[in-house]
Amino acid sequence: MYILPLLFLISFAFAEPTGEVGSSSADFFRHPSSAKNYSESWDYVFVLDNGAKAYVTYTWLNSSNEVGTQFSIWNFRNKSANVGRIYPKERYSENRTTNVISIKDEYKMENLPGKDHRVLFTADKNGKFFLDLKFTSAQTAKIPNNGLFNVDGQVCGLYIHIPYGRVEGRVGINGDTVAVKGYGYMDHSWTGTETTNVISRSFIFTTTTLEKNVNKISGRVNVSPKGTLFGYAVPVIEGALAETVMPIQILDNGSNYNPKKFPGNVEIKWNREEIPPFSFAAAYQEKFPLLASLGIPKIAISAKGGEIYHLRGRSKTDPWGRVDWAISGK
């Protein structure tokens, strides 16, 4: 567990990306690594028109030679539920001809990110869970400098494949399955070490609206334990997709943010002055325990340094409108 000093002052560094501008589809598949603690994740956020929110994560874990699958849903017919499963890495497969990533044929990502990209999750563990959503439209983001960041000497990859998109399909809990429509966000990341070694806090955020000619913002910003910022956002200014922006400072209640704690009032400033800061009050709707959801025993969670939580909420912001967000960390 972290021990917080009484006074904490931090000077943020910005991790400059390396390489050339890349395309989103080139990095959909796994980035194999022999590093002992290498990990890789595909993350989805779905904000549904019926008021529910759903989250799906697929993870490759070199440290345990396993792959993880995780699904949670909030406010689905006034119910919230979650399920996580862990499988040996042999259950993972990918087909670069048909553009399919599969885990045990029960969890899939089909078609390259963009329109018609499909996500399937089906599990029978302490209940029955089902999600099958396809993007009916998708804004393909530019990935700055191949999405590679040098973070305190460790190379990390981050690819926001779909910053904005509409989805439709079916979602169900315990046989109560309904047709849904909504908004979708998808990103993909990897590190050559334990994720918590390079990420102390992670912010995912996405504007969900059909309004035209409005400002929108979507992306992921991470803070390392040493205070290094990395990640980027994809802004839409008055309806037009703008160039990506990268964080140069995070404030919490007006002071430099301490990445060893969850924030109260966030302000993220960008490397382009013409792009307004992203400010929101981090009053959450849901606090979600990651490791416990995977069935990891409390003693093992303690040995790993404590539970990792997702705080998830919604804020009305100026000038970005309604933004749904998730903040992750110990």
What confidence tens digit (pLDDT) does each residue in 24-65 have? 556 899 998 888 889 999 999 999 999 999 999 999 988 889
Distance of CA 313 to the CA centre of its chain: 14
Average pLDDT over residues 323-328: 96
Answer yes or no: is 154 within a domain.
yes
Range of the domain at 84: 13-329
CA atoms within 13 A on the CB side of 264: 5
Answer yes or no: is 164 within a domain.
yes
Answer yes or no: is 236 within a domain.
yes
Number of domains in the chain: 1
- pLDDT tier at 266 (50, 70, 90 boundaries)? very high
Q: Which two tokens stand for residue 136?
A: 């009916």
Alpha-carbon distances of 89 from 103, 243, 296, rounded to whole Å: 9, 37, 17
Q: Which two tokens stand for residue 153?
A: 């000497």
Q: Which two tokens stand for residue 99?
A: 């553009």
* Selection from 206, 221, 316, 203 nearest residue 271 by Cα: 221
Give me the pLDDT at residue 127, please.
82
Over the stretch 78-107, which tens digit does the pLDDT of each residue have?
989 889 999 999 999 999 999 999 999 999
Answer yes or no: is 4 within a domain.
no
User: Cβ of 250: how many Cβ atoms within 10 Å?
Assistant: 24
Answer yes or no: is 101 within a domain.
yes
User: pTM of the entire structure?
Assistant: 0.91
* Selection from 170, 183, 210, 205 nearest residue 76 by Cα: 170
Answer yes or no: is 1 within a domain.
no
What are the start-end ranges of the H helices in 161-273?
A: 195-198
> In this model, does residue 253 exceed pLDDT 70?
yes
Torsions phi, psi of 293, nearest 5? -65, -25
Give me the pLDDT at residue 210, please.
77
Distance of CA 190 to the CA centre of its chain: 12
Over the stretch 147-203, which tens digit does the pLDDT of each residue have?
999 999 999 999 999 999 999 999 999 988 999 999 999 999 999 888 888 999 999
Cβ(186)–Cβ(55) below 8 Å: no
Average pLDDT over residues 215-232: 96
Give me the pLDDT at residue 12, please.
40
Question: Where is average pLDDT lowest: 5-14, 242-251, 274-283?
Answer: 5-14
> In this model, does residue 19 exceed pLDDT 70?
no
Q: Which two tokens stand for residue 29?
A: 């598949």
Domain containing residue 283: CATH number = 2.40.370.10
Length in residues, the chain: 330
Answer yes or no: is 195 within a domain.
yes
Distance CA 220, CA 159 (A): 9
Over the stretch 303-324, which tens digit does the pLDDT of each residue have?
777 888 889 999 999 899 999 9
Answer yes or no: is 49 within a domain.
yes
